[in-house]
C-alpha cells in the first residue's frame, strides 16, 4: 500500500534490522516508482538515490540468523556512477521486496524504451569501458 510523505509516494519503506530482526538502526530505505532512496543518520543525515531503471542485476543473501526473523539482504548492481553496488541490508520480506523492484525495473525500462542489454557494450563490457578503448 503506497504511503505519502513530503509530497512523495513511497511504494515500500523499511529500516535496517539489527538484533532479533528489530528495526533499531538509523538506516531507512524508501522505494518510489522511479528511485530507491537510502537515508542514513540521526543528527546528520546522508541520503543516496538510485534510479530504478539503472539496475542491471540483483542478488539476495539470506544468512541463517536473518532468515530466523524473516529478514534478508538484497544486493543491487547498477550503472550508477556513485553506487555501482547497493546493499539493502536486513529488511523484512526480502523476496517480496525483490519482486517489487523487478516489476519496477521492467516498468521503468519500458517507459524509457531500454533493456538491460542496451546498457552493456560488446563482449559484456559496460559502454563506458569500450568507449574509452576506441580513443
Q: Is the pLDDT of residue 130 over 50?
A: no
Which residue ranges form the domains of the chain, and what is each CATH number? 3-116 (2.30.29.30)
Residue 72, burial from CB neighbour count under 10 angstroms (0-12, 13-18, 19+): buried
**Mean pLDDT confidence for 49-71:** 95
What was the pLDDT predicted at 6? 74
pLDDT digits 0-9 by tens, 72-99: 999 999 998 888 999 999 999 999 999 9
Instruction: Render 18-64 in DSSP notation, one character per residue.
Output: -GGG---SSEEEEE-SSEEEEEE-SSS-EEEEEEGGGEEEEEEE--H
Which residues are within 8 A (CB) of 13 and not within 5 positions of it... i.e. 6 or more apart?
3, 28, 29, 30, 31
Q: What are the φ/ψ torsions at residue 75 (nearest 5 degrees)?
A: -110, 125
CB 14 within 8 A of CB 5: no
CB 10 within 8 A of CB 2: yes
Q: Is the pLDDT of residue 104 over 90?
A: yes
Q: Which pTM does this prediction carry?
A: 0.81
Amino acid at each position: 500500500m503506497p504511503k505519502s510523505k513530503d509530497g512523495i509516494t513511497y511504494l515500500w519503506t523499511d529500516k535496517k534490522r539489527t538484533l532479533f530482526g528489530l528495526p533499531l538502526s538509523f538506516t531507512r530505505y524508501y522505494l518510489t516508482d522511479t528511485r530507491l532512496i537510502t537515508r542514513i543518520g540521526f543528527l546528520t543525515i546522508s541520503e543516496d538515490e538510485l534510479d530504478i531503471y539503472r539496475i542491471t542485476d540483483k542478488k539476495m543473501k539470506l544468512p541463517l540468523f536473518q532468515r530466523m526473523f524473516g529478514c534478508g539482504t538484497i544486493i543491487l548492481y547498477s550503472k550508477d556512477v556513485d553506487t555501482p553496488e547497493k546493499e539493502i541490508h536486513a529488511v523484512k520480506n526480502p523476496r517480496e521486496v525483490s519482486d517489487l523492484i523487478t516489476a519496477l525495473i521492467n516498468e521503468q525500462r519500458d517507459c524509457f524504451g531500454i533493456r538491460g542489454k542496451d546498457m552493456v557494450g560488446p563482449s559484456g563490457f559496460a559502454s563506458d569501458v569500450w568507449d574509452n578503448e576506441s580513443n
